[in-house]
Chain A
Amino acid sequence: IVMTQSPATLSVSLGERATLSCRAGQSVSGKVAWYQHRPGQAPRLLIYATSTRATGVPARFSGGGSGTEFTLTINSLQSEDFAVYYCQQYDDWPQNTFGQGTKLEI
């Protein structure tokens, strides 16, 4: 299943809201996760099952969507939030697939 993220790059100011989009090539039954990846660091799980925050993830991160359209919203952007974000589907087991990423920059 192809996961298509948009935009490729998103420029947002500190304190503002960012909305990242992810489209699945077919219905994925809500089995979508989001990851944050900072350069030189390990990827970090943010959201799974469309909207469930992983342990320790701040409430300013929220996920939504259904069917084939999903979003990750980050409110009140902080400096540490600027990174690359990936969506992933895990419905087509075990052949889970990631999107190509959205780079969030200041």
Chain B
Amino acid sequence: EVQLVESGGGFVQPGGSLRLSCAASGFSFFNYAINWVRQAPGRGLEWVSVISGSGDSPYYTDSVRGRFTISRDNSRNTVYLHMTSLRVEDTAVYYCAKDPTSVGATYPDFWGQGTLVTVSS
């Protein structure tokens, strides 16, 4: 059974940093890209970032490029999202989502339950 479990969310002041983790199990982790998708309060889904199965191809949406860094440790079946210079508008539930391809940013086929990030003064 595919499982994705996010952790690391919490409350942080504007300008602060946070690192999210996504622990995966139930599939050949290194063969698949992993996406981060977020949902701000009362809003729809927004794709944030993706990293390929090999970890050598990260991509970001424009609003987080230069502030967020995605990485993965295939020995630990874990993907990370390091978020810096956080803004109020980054407040959202962050989901990690498995891609059905090794390259990523297609149609995520399994999602975690999400972790809430709140940026506020």
Contacts and interface: CB of A to CB of B under 8 A. Distances in A.
Given A88-B107, A96-B105, A101 B44 contact: yes
Interface residues of A, number: 24
A55 B109 CA distance: 9
Contacts of B59: 94
B105 A43 contact: no
Main secondary structure of the interface of A (DSSP, over half): loop
B58 to A, nearest CB: 10
Contacts of A99: 44
A101 B44 CA distance: 6
A43 B62 CA distance: 23
Interface string B28-47: 00000000010000011111
B114 interface: yes
A45 B46 contact: no
Given A43-B111, A55-B109, A88-B107, 10 more contacts: A33-B107, A42-B4, A43-B95, A45-B107, A48-B109, A90-B105, A90-B107, A94-B59, A95-B62, A98-B45
Interface of B: 4, 37, 43-47, 50, 59, 61-62, 95, 97, 100, 104-114
Interface of A: 31, 33, 35, 37, 41-45, 48, 54-55, 86, 88, 90, 93-101
